[in-house]
Amino acid sequence: MSKISDYKLLSFDVYGTLIDWERGAVNAMQPVLEKAGKSDLDGKYIMAKYREFDSAVQKESPGTKYSELLTANHAKLCEKLGLEKPTPEESQAFGDSVGNWPAFPDTVAALKRLSKHFKLVVLSNVDNKSFAASNAGPLEGFQFDAVYTAEDIGSYKPDPRNFEYMFSHVLEQFGIERSEVLQTAQSQFHDHHPIKELGLKSCWIYRPESIMGNRNDPVWDWKFDRLADMADAVEKELGEA
């Protein structure tokens, strides 16, 4: 496959790629930050502290729903930030906040453009209820061709089982081979490195303002700052621009 338009299906990470994970999580931390008089704490600092333990927790608890991990991680993050221990209600609110995390401004329009040329599926580390809330709200009810979540699979990316689950299902549902799938994501850790280890290609939606999932040794086959830029490139390849 020498062009993006040669592929038949785009497999999307959602949180960090389509949804602004970091802004959403920082917004959800505001009640405890305001209570502690630290509402001006830098968002990137907060996310850097969260990143210190997030991946390890997912690996240790592959069968736990994402919203439940967020609820448990809230107390850990508060401790890392030097805040007092949150109440169970405060932690639960953080865990339930996923559906309120905002989409990036270009996301929905770009998905609509890309859907003219590809099957679009979700391969996310989230739970079904949280994704449904995101899809109904910030993603404006966009109709993906399929949705595969960590809750369905029983493990979290970068575990190769998640990708193998997606490959087997798109072959069964759409007759599309793994070589015809382009992983499209922001996270180097969760998506690009594992897909390269499987011998396949990826498109990096860089999101320059983001830090979650970054690595010092990035790999990719195509790279764009925004999903809209990828849609532009596809339309240019097809002579539609």
Distances (CA, A) of 134 to 92, 100, 101, 217: 17, 7, 7, 31
159 noted as active-site residue: no
Give which of 137, 143, 144, 150 is closest to 103, Cα–Cα.
Answer: 137
Closest CA to 123 of 78, 160, 163: 163
Q: Are 5 and 234 a contacting pair, CB within 8 Å?
A: yes
Of the candidates 6, 13, 145, 229, the residue annotated as catalytic is: 13
Half-sphere exposure of 112 (CA within 13 A, CB side): 8
Return d(Cα 73, Cα 134) in angstroms, integer: 20
Instruction: State how far the Cα of 131 lies from the Cα of 79, in Å rounded to an integer.
Output: 27
Of how many residues is the chain composed?
A: 241
Residues noted as catalytic: 13
